[in-house]
Chains A and B, each alone.
Chain A
Amino acid sequence: MQKAKAIELDVAVVDGVELSGSWNRMFEPRAISEYDIAVLDETTAIPGAESLGYCYQCGKCTAVCPVDTVGDYSPRKIFRRTQLGVSLVDSPDLWLCTTCRNCLRVCPKEVNMIQIMPAVRERAVLDGKAPDELLTAFENTARYGNPIGESPRKRAEWAKTAGVMVPVMAQKKSPVDVLWFVECYPAYHPRGKQASVALARLLNALNVDFGILGNEEKCAGDSQRMAGERGLFEMLAEHNIKMLSKYTFNHIVVTDPHAYNAFLHEYPKLGGDWPVQHYTQYLAERLSALSFVRSIPRRITFHDPCYLGRHNGEYDAPRRLLTALPGVELVEMGHCRETSYCCGGGGGGMWLDSFTRDYTSERLSEKRVREAIEYGADILAVTCPYEVPRFEDAVKSTGNAGKLAVMDIAELLAYSVGLTDEYAAN
């Protein structure tokens, strides 16, 4: 058993200055009490989880961790519990972090949950300790290339309802300018599909030369990676890179901030290095080519997705698009931009709904919807495919049905440009 030792020297020499007695406590580690830190050592020995050991309990993270607003949580607490001998691998704490990155923004010691969580979760998955809900999503992704468990043969079916040409690369057989990486929820979820149709029409209206991978596309896998299935992520990445490499294009545009993150930081390590933009960035650069014909006289607020904002620093492109919409009044919620709160879907949260509920007082999506209502918004604009279903569900479950519409920015743009007839689902 390794113990923290009490070191109070009679005399210590610090920077050439001789200090005696209790003075030198300021400069040497001092035990307040003795811990068996074997569990902490075991945890920080996991490659990637080292920085958990750096925590000096300042508590800055507790003030910003969204999960703490609905539960009893934060890196400080995780460190403290591990120090007291509760193994993170066995603790429900392991699955509550949404990898939103808010703590890392403020932590003076750079305790990095974005690395700690996937590393320790990977160990838990190996040890058979991951929640079943999550494993189902993993199994679906491994088998069908999407976490929802939909038929991989139907991945491009949404395009039939687009009303415009959505070329599939395998059939197009010629180079394109933009390879649009659609992702799973935009391809399969009914509300995600509506946003995809809107985006397809926008790309057509802009005469963009684009194509999609269709059934050759699989989940980009970034959230599975954060949830502890690195092997699955690598398998998906290798597949996608192989498929993308068959075709010639200038850059990739993604619908999903999680895919954006993967293409920006992870795919290049595996040999898939292409210029990539989130669709809001791509459209923001082409705003002048869009002519708006309909006004949206509504108060709109915007939820910054963690993986577009905090993770990758893009706060302006979505706002440029929203402020360009005629009639719109954009209001910012208290938690916005760097301090935005998470929808709860990141880092595997999308597939831990029931699990999380047992340890939190309400869903983060519900918390966020209440905030939007507080600011008097009519429309909550989003730009991550996890969010429309999460927030729409939360609007209902908080008893706000009819008061707040949840819309993807692509849907708002397409309506205002006159490409679709509805802009609010309700």
Chain B
Amino acid sequence: MGLILVVMENGASGFTDASRELLGKARELTKHQDGQVMAVGFGPQSEKALRRLAVDRVICADSALLASYNPAAYEACLDQIIKANAPCITLIANTTLGIDLGAGVASRCNLPLIAYCTDLQINGNKITATSQIFAGKAVAEIRIPDSGAIVTVLPGVWNADTDVGDPDFETWPVDTPQMMEVLKVIEPETGDVDITKADILVSVGRGIESPENLPLAEDLATSMGGVVSCSRPVVDAGWLPKARQVGKSGQTVKPKLYLALGISGAPEHLQGMRDADLIIAVNTDENASIMDVAHYGTTVDMLELMPALAQRLRGE
């Protein structure tokens, strides 16, 4: 095996977890196969962090032009680095940056692109990638060709690597024509939550019984890093705003986790959430229809479960 190139993405403080997750995997793949891991970082601010990565080599494209993300400039620069170093795999997190650079660089370098990757494994002397397709309803196993490939990896599939090392350091001169100019960066507004954008939904139905119990759900959602959504009767009762309603006459959601608490699973409700990646249903009625679409179910009392789970998640 030759070189694995990992593209590091700048976050609010240092590299993002999504890109650090790639480092650990790259090291694991090269460990027994005497390959090398090279990381590339952008902007002068990345130099310090690059120097401390536990990889063999790092490249810093240290132009001030790259200090904030600029799709065209990053793409042109990465294109040159790949052509100069001919890595066998280039790993990029499938974030905005990965979606921008992955396809762009793959076609510029005439390399195949493997998108939405969820795993990389060594089989003999070959590496296979596993990728999600059809919104996660099917999985593909793909062989990485010897000629190399660009792989964009879904964030969250591996653990972020925080090991410290002392890599060989190199700077990369940047001379690309300026085709894009970042005019300003806007912080997100803080209004009521958009449940269609949340990764984790703690969704409550009529089983919540009264608005006095809602703080239990809010608290659980906070401890999970999610937000509260609901079925229609909860909106009808005026306990939550209509923007939180999931279903036929509400929002269609597709979170990574839909925790359905005290929701029976009427067809009008299912219509809005059945495509969630993972559905866990809590319903005292074992035969409730929600169990037909849920991946996991439990018949314990939601009013007891909510505080208990929140407590455990907070490590109490």
Query: Does A172 lie at the interface of the complex (its beta carbon under 8 Å from any beta carbon of B)?
Result: no
The answer for the CA separation of A354 and B252 in the assembled complex, in Å, is 14
Q: Which residues of A contact B271 (CB under 8 A)?
A: 148-149
A 393-411 binary contact with B (CB < 8 Å = 1; else 0): 1001100000000000000
Interface size grouping (class) on chain B: 10 to 19
Query: Does B267 lie at the interface of the complex (its beta carbon under 8 Å from any beta carbon of A)?
Result: yes
Q: How many A-B residue pairs have CB under 8 A?
A: 23
A 58-71 binary contact with B (CB < 8 Å = 1; else 0): 00000000000000
The answer for the CA separation of A88 and B126 in the assembled complex, in Å, is 67
A396, B236: Cβ atoms under 8 Å? no
The answer for the CA separation of A389 and B206 in the assembled complex, in Å, is 17
Q: Which residue of B lies closest to A147 (CB)?
A: B248
Chain A facing B: main interface SS = helix
B233, A190: Cβ atoms under 8 Å? no
B249, A133: Cβ atoms under 8 Å? yes
Least Cβ distance of A158 to chain B in Å? Answer: 13
Q: Which residues of A contact B250 (CB under 8 A)?
A: 354
A354, B245: Cβ atoms under 8 Å? yes
B249, A354: Cβ atoms under 8 Å? yes
A397, B236: Cβ atoms under 8 Å? yes
The answer for the CA separation of A396 and B231 in the assembled complex, in Å, is 13
B 275-305 binary contact with A (CB < 8 Å = 1; else 0): 0000000000000010000000000000000
Given contacts A148-B271, A357-B236, contact A393 B249 (CB under 8 A): no
B 111-126 binary contact with A (CB < 8 Å = 1; else 0): 0000000000000000
Give the contacts of A152-207 with B (CB-CB under 8 A).
189-190
Give the contacts of B237-256 with A (CB-CB under 8 A).
242, 245, 248-250
Interface size grouping (class) on chain A: 10 to 19
- Interface centre among B206, B249, B250, B271, by most A CB within 10 Å? B249
Query: Does B135 lie at the interface of the complex (its beta carbon under 8 Å from any beta carbon of A)?
Result: no
Query: Does B308 lie at the interface of the complex (its beta carbon under 8 Å from any beta carbon of A)?
Result: no
Q: Which residues of B contact A397 (CB under 8 A)?
A: 233, 236
Query: Does B266 lie at the interface of the complex (its beta carbon under 8 Å from any beta carbon of A)?
Result: yes
Give the contacts of A369-426 with B (CB-CB under 8 A).
389, 393, 396-397
B266, A353: Cβ atoms under 8 Å? no
The answer for the CA separation of A337 and B244 in the assembled complex, in Å, is 40
Least Cβ distance of A389 to chain B in Å? Answer: 8
Least Cβ distance of B217 to chain A in Å? Answer: 20
Q: Which residue of A lies closest to B237 (CB)?
A: A397
The answer for the CA separation of A132 and B242 in the assembled complex, in Å, is 14
Q: Which residues of B contact A354 (CB under 8 A)?
A: 242, 245, 249-250
Q: Which residues of A contact B267 (CB under 8 A)?
A: 148, 189-190, 389
- Interface centre among B242, B267, B268, by most A CB within 10 Å? B267
A353, B248: Cβ atoms under 8 Å? yes
A353, B289: Cβ atoms under 8 Å? no
A353, B249: Cβ atoms under 8 Å? yes
The answer for the CA separation of A120 and B43 in the assembled complex, in Å, is 59
Looking at the complex, which one of B233, B248, B289 makes contact with A396 (CB distance below 8 Å)?
B233
Least Cβ distance of B292 to chain A in Å? Answer: 10
Q: Which residues of B contact A389 (CB under 8 A)?
A: 266-268
Q: Which residue of B lies closest to A149 (CB)?
A: B271
Would you give 13 A-B contacts (Cβ < 8 Å), ordered by A? A133-B248, A189-B267, A190-B267, A190-B289, A353-B249, A354-B242, A354-B245, A354-B250, A357-B236, A389-B266, A396-B206, A396-B233, A397-B236
B: residues with CB less than 8 A from A are 206, 233, 236, 242, 245, 248-250, 266-268, 271, 289
Known: A357-B236, A397-B236. 5 other contacts (CB 8 A): A133-B249, A149-B271, A190-B267, A389-B267, A393-B266
